[in-house]
Amino acid sequence: MNWDTLFFAVVPYISLSIFVVVSIYRYVYRPFSVSSLSSQLLERRKLFWGSVPFHYGIVLVLLAHLLMLVLSGLVRAWNAEPTRLYLLEAAMLTLAFWALWGLLVLVFRRASARRVQVVTSTMDLVVLVLLLVSVITGILIATVYRFGSAWFTAIFTPYLASVLALQPTVSLVAPLPWLIRLHVINFFLLLAVFPFSRLIHMAMYPIRYLARPWQIVIWNHRLPSTKQGSR
């Protein structure tokens, strides 16, 4: 087995299996763990300037990728006009930079805010590194290997279709430059760690939140002692 077969014919199924099994387990048996575990009470200013651009940027970029996968014919028809192609590429690159800005602010926040560091887990750091690799390689691909929305539909749409059909066509992605392959491998790694992290709330929301009982948060602290005889 060579590296291409391992990364593009074996790893995808391992990642998908972990994602599905662990997500279902947390959804059924640990529903209250499906949360973003917000640290807003510990620090909110940098959180706002980081979370908002990151979430909007990354979600819209992911939706664009999904659109190119499931509606590849529509995307090719859109890109048939050069002006529309340039517009789509510019919009996606702008969103990617927006997401990168937000992600860098979130990284700086965790590195600079002592109270946030206390609640930062190893998984948080792993996810931040993987997200940084994903966004940075995506931006580099968009600038070095231009018009990704055009060649994406010709390569990755049939590749992922072959993976879902249990007949992965490794030959579609094996000849690609190392930067693009790194971007793909990093995606599968993110998919595998996704259900173990606080990112799982993105997949579960709003399904579980509509059905589960209210989560009650109670402050756990001692009241100041009062002197005898005081009212």
Nearest to 182 by CA among 2, 7, 46, 6: 7
Q: Token pair of 106, please?
A: 């979130």
Report all structural domains of the chain as residue ranges with CATH numbers, in order of start: 3-211 (1.20.950.20)
Which single residue is written with the structure tokens 């007949």?
167
Which H or E element spans position 182? helix 178-193
Instruction: Look at 203 and 200; give whichever has higher pLDDT.
Output: 200
Which pLDDT does position 31 carry in this prediction? 65
Kindly report, residue by residue over 154-187, the tens digit of the pLDDT. Answer: 899 999 999 999 999 999 999 999 999 999 999 9
Q: CA-CA-CA-CA torsion for 119, 120, 123, 129, nearest 10 degrees?
A: 160
Which pLDDT does position 34 carry in this prediction? 63
DSSP classification of residue 42: T
Q: Is the pLDDT of residue 139 over 70?
A: yes
Instruction: Look at 152 and 34; give whichever has higher pLDDT.
Output: 152
Per mean pLDDT, which range of 8-17, 111-120, 202-211 is the poorest? 202-211
Distance separating alpha carbons of residues 215 and 138, to the nearest angstrom: 38
Distance separating alpha carbons of residues 63 and 61, to the nearest angstrom: 5
Which pLDDT does position 32 carry in this prediction? 61
Distance separating alpha carbons of residues 196 and 168, to the nearest angstrom: 26
Q: Within 10 A of 152 (CB to CB), how many other CB atoms are there?
A: 18
Residue partners of 14: CB distance under 8 A and separation at least 6 = 192
Which pLDDT band, with edges at 50, 70 and 90, does 42 fall under?
A: very low
Q: Is the pLDDT of residue 204 over 80?
A: no
Which pLDDT does position 43 carry in this prediction? 46
Which pLDDT does position 230 carry in this prediction? 46
Q: For residues 104 and 131, is the Cβ–Cβ distance under 8 A?
A: no
Q: Is 210 exposed, middle or buried (0-12, 13-18, 19+ CB in 10 A)?
A: exposed
| Average pLDDT over all residues of the chain | 81
Which pLDDT does position 6 carry in this prediction? 94
Instruction: Look at 118 and 219; give whichever has higher pLDDT.
Output: 118
